[in-house]
Copies of this chain bind each other. A is one copy, B any other.
């Protein structure tokens, strides 16, 4: 069977080379390279990624009086005056057919260093405010349309705490600000999260099984069905803001934004 060669960006966030995160990032890189794909990595800790979006992100300020991040991000993106590290990551993203984010779950979200990768790289004009058209293109359309995204999350606690009625809340709902709000927003097709639990204490045999399961999962990166988030411009949001009455009638909250196939 002929496999189409694709580009995949793997972004990961753990400084310890023997961590579950590092091992899973490596497994994904190996699996996809073995399939003939082209793999690029962003190892945030190893590269000393600057996590904090601040004034230094805008060496040529549009408004030197008052720092507005939206305004300066749009200006810097449009006029080619972003910092070199941000431009490099955007180029990796541009080239990518799929992006895999591998991280440990810290306080039910990503580590600060990865949040700072989003905060800095997701520029106005690219990831939001696409084509200078406000919110015209978002949720299914935008600067990252056509790309797949997959989260690979290491969770310290036990799986039952994330069960449908588990005390932490279901993992996929906790990650909704990332999957829906960060990845689907600029147009990516987001796959269901791959999670591993009990990652704080994992023996060698369990780690081998996990790596094998992850390898098989990632080999199907371009076959898995994405989460059925409703696209903004697909008819479900006639005013681009609120669900039409006939869509998921009577439902409210984040779950209403996922279509049932």
Residues of B within 8 A of A77 (CB): none
Residues of B within 8 A of A34 (CB): none
A146 to B252, CA, bound (A): 32
- A177 engages B242 (CB within 8 Å): no
* Count of chain copies: 2
Instruction: Judge if A192 is at the interface, Cβ distance under 8 Å.
Output: no
Sample 10 A-B pairs with CB under 8 A, ordered by A number. Answer: A52-B112, A106-B118, A107-B178, A107-B182, A112-B113, A165-B252, A165-B256, A167-B232, A167-B237, A168-B181
Ordered nearest first, which 5 A-B pairs have the shortest CB separation? A112-B116, A108-B177, A108-B181, A164-B252, A169-B254
On A, residues with C-beta under 8 Å from B are 15-16, 18-19, 45, 51-55, 66-70, 104, 106-113, 115-116, 118-119, 122, 135, 139, 156-158, 160-161, 163-170, 173-174, 176-178, 180-182, 185, 200, 232, 237, 240-243, 248, 251-257
